[in-house]
Amino acid sequence: MAGSGEEGLYSRQLYVLGGGARRLAGAAVLVSGLRGTGAQVAAALVLAGTGRVVLHDRGAACTADRAHQFLLEESDIGRNRAEASQRALTELNPHVAVAAHIGELSEDFLASFQVVVLTESSLEEQLRVGDFCHARGICFIVADAKGLAGQLFCDFGERFIVDDPAEGDLVCAAVQHISQGNPGVVTCMGAEDSHGHLFCDGDLVTFSGVEGMTELNSREPVPVRVLDAFRLEIGDTSSFSPYRRGGLVSQLRLPQVHSYEPLRRALAEPKIRVASHEELPRSHSLHAAFQALHAFCGEQGRLPRPRGLADAERVLELARSLGAQQGPLDEDIVRAFASVSAGDLCPVAAIVGALAAQEVLKAITRKFLPLDQWLYFDALECLALEGATRLTEEDCAPMGSRYDGQIAVFGATFQEQLGRQKYLVVGAGAIGCELLKNFAMMGLAAGPGGDLTVTDMDTVALSNLHRQLLYRSADISKPKSVVAAAAVRRMNPSIRVTPHQNQVGPATEPLYGDNFFRRLDGVVSALDTLEARAYLESRCRRCLTPLLDSGTEGPRGNVLAMVPPLTKPLGPAGAPGDGTFPLCTLRYFPRTIQHTLQWARDEFEGLFQLPAEHVNRFMEDPAFLEQLPAGKALEVLEQVRGSLWERPRDWQDCVRWARRHWQNRYHDAIAQLLHTFPPEHETSPGVPFWAGDRSCPHPLTFNPDNDAHLEYILATAHLFAQAHKVPPCSDRVAAQTVLRSVVLLPFAPQEGLQISLAEEQEEAQAPADCGRLAELTQDLVQRRAELVGGEEAQVPLMEPIHFEKDNNIHVDFITAASNLRAENYGIPPADWLTSKRIAGRIVPAIITTTAAVAGLACLEVYKLVWGCQDLSCYRNSNLCLSDCLLLRIQPLPPPTYRYGGREWSCWDRLEMRAVGADGQEMTVQDVLDWLQRTHGWTVTMLLRGHTVLYDREEDEETRARQRVQRLSEHLEAAREPRQWELELLYVCEGEDAEAEDNRPPLLCSLP
């Protein structure tokens, strides 16, 4: 039942690519051109588990390649790039066959591949290979990065079938009512985490489990029209039987067939993918510019000289003469493109290579719609930076350095400035690895005075290896930050990187305090919790430190730039649902697989974690029960008693216990519920109880030959044995033999049993039964004495088991328990991987998205290094690789407000050096005088946090005492550590009521 070893390795990727990902192992892909872009494509495909990746390059590695080709080492200089890259890629994923080819791309050679990717190739070669691939039905991709721009082209043939064109799970909703009419209207039930259904106009749907209007259950898929958040039109239902209750409406996705033009035709009549219509003229100009660049190279035998005005003008002439552009040519774009086209930038190669790799994965897995057919990307706004506009051909001339490709764009002085940077990277996961790799290539913090700190509390796990570039199988269980730092030092020995294993939070403020943040040139974050992100942002806001925040989910990603004082602060992210559901829903009225999976998670904790913890605490100190509320104490005592009295002697006892528990959960509990509320029960005359959001369940009958039943028994018995420190066993036949010998008493319903139907009733504590408490306590104390005196007693007696999403046995139990519960209630089951994702709250992830997002973030680093103070040069980025969409927009400016008769930005603060003429720390009165003298404000209250330093409403004696206090005296009184800067709040005379949260903070520097 559990996932295979490869599913454990690729599980996060499987959640993105679906079942089609299993085709990767049988695929063969050619990557031609092993400079920066080709290296990124090849690395992504190898990490993703592509069966065979063949590298092709006829050139030798040179020193300048090492600014963007991260697979090369110093010793590889002079070797063929493909052969030199083969070793590093083989180490990256031993499950992938990586080969090198240094000969011609003959037709016989090309015919063996499902996908061919060309990078760094001439237009003539692109046309020749493209014609052959189109004729043979081989998916063909061109990916090129030149300076600050990139180009991507896809031709997947005349008949390419996309099995699943969209991302995400199929939409499903519980039915509340269906009208008889033309059209019929389906009313869906709301869910805890949304206000209604998630269907869109035109979605195809099917129905299941509908009672009454049963004609819908066998009907072919029908399109829906969305009326509102809860209602759908589905066509004519006027002749169907009246709807009674129940049912699910489920989305169905059908395969799509797409056709693509060959490169030769697509050059002249380009179909270009853009995020908005306004971007189309720019992309058409880049389309012409790339063709003109090919013509220039054919004419001159080289790329244009960096910042060479004559060469740039010649490229522009060629673009005009080609007549390839659609509409007017933007000559400034062509000039800017040509002037830096000889440059090689790791971030641009990362972006273009990641986009190309995602298209390869689409070609193999047939998941998501391929690019149709051109995409252009540029970051030419970097050339508008102050300083960059004044660069000359001499400033950007090659120096024989590994950074020559970057110097060609930004100049030698800028490269020195990059080396002096001080940065903090928070998180060394998938995005963090890509950021660190890019920083090593760029030379960030690789010069005198440079300092790069990376911190991460986590260790390397198996599931990290398919998308976290810097880790190998030998690194599993090692600290991520330490391994990552060592890996980037191998890429660039000059980089000055220090690994930490700390969380950046309130507990580590002595280490990551104001002085630490203020000395930084920037912070780049790749955090996976909203709380950690919010805290980091607050630290950067306080210290005016630039922050680049990155995040991904499956094929989607984003980069947000917070640049004091130019941009709006990041602010709170949209909080996802917290994953909690009403207890009565989980216990009695589940209607989605999410409900049953959460119920299974609660079962896991209640069976294998909490009882063991309570038993161990009781064995250590029985008095711990006295610290619990009376109602809770009774529950804990019952748990302890159950665990001590049901201690298994061997694995067979564990199987018998699992069988009894199965009967209790999936038969007896449901039968009791139906005894209390029979299927025909009515809440009031004519109003059925089992309707709306209550689905009527049915009890299950155990069968040892039923795989679903047996898998539950095996997983449950294994965990029960582990908790009781009994050797487990996974022998299915032996388990079935034991199960057939188990005899259980027939179910006898309890009369008068009260079942809570509302959350409020669930949360109410039952009155404590003092007699029962005393009786249980006496029994347990006696049992404890017997165990402590016995030779077989172990300390601790039991092993608490905490749910781990990457433990197959744990997921086996969750999947089996949830699906049996779903069967009780007629809910469609979830497979093992889906159950693991939902129960483990796993965020889908794939290397292509993380690489592209890191590249986008590093483009903003360039601007920060320049010290850019022009808001129009910065970009926030949103990426959707499933649709091959990239949207880059200017960040919003900071909000402003009025206070004290003038306008303030959210970044403004009042700063005073709280040192008197005598060199001593100022008093509260000195601060009041400073505010009066400097701003004309009469302060009525002064606070630090919740501590009142001055309040005009107090009596004269208290005010006098407050005014003469030194600012740090309250710290000493509260035994807080000495601080060198205090942030004070104040209230002034004549303030508007709305000014409470809108006033500049006062920062006082202490001596």
DSSP helix/strand/coil, 578: coil
* Whole-number Å distance between alpha carbons of 192 and 821: 19
CB 634 within 8 A of CB 701: no
Strand pairing class (497-500; 374-378): unpaired
Map 217-278 to HEC letters: HHCCCEECEECCCCEEECCCCCCCCCCCECCEEEEECCCEEECCCCHHHHHHCCCECCCCHH
* Whole-number Å distance between alpha carbons of 889 and 845: 24
Omega cis (within 30) before 565: yes
What's the one-letter identity of residue 226? V
Give the torsion through C-alpha atoms of 962, 964, 968, 971, to 10 deg.
-40
The string of DSSP letters for 900-964 reads: TTEEEETT--EEEE-B-TTSSBPBHHHHHHHHHHHH---EEEEEETTEEEEETTS-HHHHHHHHH
Phi, psi values for residue 31, rounded to 5°: -115, 110
CB 93 within 8 A of CB 106: no
Tokens representing residue 452 in the block = 């790069």
Q: Distances from the Cα of 361 to the Cαs of 20, 369, 794, in angstroms?
A: 9, 11, 53
* Whole-number Å distance between alpha carbons of 919 and 308: 58
Tokens representing residue 176 in the block = 């509340």
CB 143 within 8 A of CB 41: yes
| Residue 584 annotated among the catalytic residues of the structure | yes
CB 403 within 8 A of CB 443: yes
CA-CA-CA-CA torsion sign (89, 91, 97, 98):
positive
Tokens representing residue 82 in the block = 């493909």
Element (H, E) at 173: strand 172-178
Strand order in the sheet with 422-426: 497-500, 451-455, 422-426, 522-525, 547-553, 556-562, 876-880, 885-889
What's the one-letter identity of residue 423? Y
What's the one-letter identity of residue 171? V
Phi, psi values for residue 583, rounded to 5°: -60, -40
* Whole-number Å distance between alpha carbons of 206 and 37: 44
* Whole-number Å distance between alpha carbons of 224 and 235: 8
The active-site residue out of 139, 346, 396, 584 is 584
* Whole-number Å distance between alpha carbons of 928 and 935: 11
CA-CA-CA-CA torsion sign (507, 513, 514, 520):
negative
Q: List beta partners, residue 422.
A: 451
- 137 contact partners, CB below 8 Å, separation of at least 6: 157, 158
Q: Active-site residue numbers?
A: 584
